[in-house]
């Protein structure tokens, strides 16, 4: 138990806490307006202007609730707990409901120690108000329940986002592993060719100057060492998985996606432009992106009859566009925004390109990718 508490105490806060945005200013302005209206229009409110001034002074803590949640909770709940000492009565403004945003932010964006200390401040404020008679037992119990629900919601969102980010990272790492394999196969092909040429040169060395023999020996030695190191790297990447013996696919294999299937929409492949000297990693990335797009369309495009794969190459880049004529359903939108698109974006980004997906202008789904020739 103590170990778990210690672990939670040392837990850092999320590193991607957003700073102030325009919505925060709108939130502050909206609550300030609510305070002014309640002070002016609510009947029977004791010490209305005093309560209004305290509320207006505390509301700006909403601006720092994500970046400094403990400070925001300390200032807000400290002021709400000490201000009634001057009047002997609870401030009584309904507008103080904005402190729920601070409780949510504490568990959503605070570190472990900030969350524990902030929760202690909240409990101390509620207990202090109960002991001094500023609030009754029912109000205190209700306040504890509401604040607990809000902080629990913040913690649930926090850990759900963390779990999803972890899944995204796993998808990206898997795509990096796949790219490493493709690069290994490509480089291994060229290195193997170097070894063969070096060995051929050694075979004819008796008829050539000694310098050629030395150069060929150096080529063979360096190429063999590089190939061994590359295989060692990929052997580590391929843990618990057998090596793929099939050749690495490239742009020339794109027409295989149009092979007839028993079920599902037909696929039409069109390649335009000069792709003869396209680097192998770029060709492989294009094939993988098109393959994933076609697979997703066959699985998830409702009532689709046709999938079009278009590749257009120019002097600077190669553009891929995959479209289908299926229905644009919410399920397709959710899937495309999931891990499949994350892996495709990672694959395109690793070779210096971009990849996007979304509903088509009329119907269906569209995947576009732009990869540099270099």
Q: What's the DSSP call for residue 244?
A: P
* Residue 232 banded pLDDT, cuts 50, 70, 90: low
pLDDT > 80? residue 337:
no
pLDDT > 50? residue 272:
yes
Residue whose C-alpha is closest to residue 320's, from 343, 294, 346: 294
* Residue 234 banded pLDDT, cuts 50, 70, 90: low
The three-state secondary structure class of 98 is helix
Highest-confidence segment of 57-61, 111-115, 161-165? 57-61
**pLDDT in the model for residue 331:** 46
Segment 227-233 mean pLDDT: 62
**pLDDT in the model for residue 237:** 56
Residue whose C-alpha is closest to residue 38's, from 88, 97, 126: 97
Segment 123-140 mean pLDDT: 83
pLDDT > 90? residue 59:
yes
pLDDT > 70? residue 262:
no
Better-predicted residue by pLDDT, 134 or 369: 369
**pLDDT in the model for residue 226:** 67
pLDDT > 90? residue 26:
yes
Tell me the H-state helices in 271-338. Answer: 280-300, 330-336
Name the pairing type of β-strands 354-359 and 365-372: antiparallel
Cα torsion 311, 314, 319, 323 to 10°: value is -40
What pairs with residue 354 in β-bridges?
370
d(CA 118, CA 112): 10
d(CA 307, CA 326): 9
Long-range contacts, stretch 137-141, CB < 8 angstroms, 24+ apart:
none
Residue-wise pLDDT for 107-124, tens only, equals 898 888 888 899 999 989
**pLDDT in the model for residue 117:** 92
**pLDDT in the model for residue 211:** 60
Residue-wise pLDDT for 63-116, tens only, equals 999 989 999 999 999 988 888 888 777 787 888 899 999 999 998 988 888 888
pLDDT > 70? residue 231:
no
Using alpha carbons only, give the angle 355, 358, 360 rounded to the nearest 5 degrees. 120
d(CA 79, CA 310): 64
d(CA 200, CA 214): 13
Residue-wise pLDDT for 301-324, tens only, equals 888 888 999 999 988 899 999 999
**pLDDT in the model for residue 367:** 92
Instruction: List the single range of 24-28, 202-206, 291-295 with lowest mean pLDDT.
Output: 202-206
Rounded percentage of the chain residues whose pLDDT exceeds 90: 20
pLDDT > 80? residue 195:
no
Q: Which residues contact 32 (CB under 8 A, 6 or more apart)?
A: 56, 59
Element (H, E) at 164: helix 137-203
Segment 28-38 mean pLDDT: 93
Instruction: List the single range of 140-149, 292-301, 333-342 with lowest mean pLDDT.
Output: 333-342
* Residue 300 banded pLDDT, cuts 50, 70, 90: confident
Segment 144-167 mean pLDDT: 87
The three-state secondary structure class of 261 is coil
* Residue 299 banded pLDDT, cuts 50, 70, 90: confident
Average pLDDT, the chain: 81
Name the pairing type of β-strands 354-359 and 266-272: unpaired
Q: Could you tell me if residue 47 is left (phi over 0), alpha (psi between -120 and 50 degrees) or otherwise beta? A: left
The three-state secondary structure class of 323 is strand
**pLDDT in the model for residue 243:** 47
Cα torsion 246, 249, 255, 256 to 10°: value is 30
């Amino acid at each position: 138990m103590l170990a778990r508490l210690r672990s939670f105490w040392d837990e850092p806060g999320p590193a991607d806490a957003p700073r102030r945005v325009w919505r925060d200013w709108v939130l502050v302005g909206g609550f300030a307006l609510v305070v002014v209206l309640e002070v002016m229009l609510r009947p029977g409110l004791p010490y209305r202007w005093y309560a209004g001034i305290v509320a207006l002074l505390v509301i700006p803590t909403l601006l720092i609730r994500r970046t400094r949640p403990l400070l925001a909770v300390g200032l807000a709940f400290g002021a709400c707990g000490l201000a009634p000492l001057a009047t002997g009565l609870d401030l009584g403004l309904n507008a103080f409901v904005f402190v729920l945003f601070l409780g949510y932010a504490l568990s959503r964006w605070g570190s472990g120690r900030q969350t524990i200390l902030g929760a202690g401040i909240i409990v101390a404020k509620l207990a202090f108000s109960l002991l001094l008679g500023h609030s009754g037992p029912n109000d205190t119990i209700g306040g504890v329940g509401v604040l607990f629900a809000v902080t629990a919601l913040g913690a649930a969102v926090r850990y759900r986002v963390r779990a999803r980010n972890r899944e995204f990272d796993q998808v990206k790492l898997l795509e990096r592993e796949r790219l490493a394999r493709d690069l290994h196969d490509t480089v291994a092909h060229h290195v193997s060719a170097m070894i063969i040429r070096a060995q051929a040169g050694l075979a004819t060395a008796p008829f050539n100057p000694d310098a050629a023999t030395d150069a060929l020996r150096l080529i063979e030695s360096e190429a063999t060492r590089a190939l061994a190191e590359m295989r060692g790297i990929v052997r580590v990447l391929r843990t618990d998985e057998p090596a793929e013996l099939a050749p690495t696919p490239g742009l020339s294999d794109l027409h295989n996606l149009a092979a007839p299937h028993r079920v599902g929409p037909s696929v039409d492949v069109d390649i335009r432009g000069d792709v003869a000297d396209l680097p192998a990693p770029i060709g492989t990335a294009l094939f993988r992106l098109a393959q994933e797009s076609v697979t997703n369309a066959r699985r998830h495009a409702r009532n689709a009859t046709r999938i079009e794969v278009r590749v257009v190459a120019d002097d600077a880049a190669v553009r891929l566009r995959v479209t289908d004529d299926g229905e644009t359903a919410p399920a397709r939108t959710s899937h495309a925004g999931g891990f499949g698109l994350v892996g495709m974006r990672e694959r395109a980004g690793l070779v210096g390109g971009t990849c996007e997906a979304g509903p088509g202008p009329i119907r269906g789904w569209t995947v576009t990718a732009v990869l540099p020739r270099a």
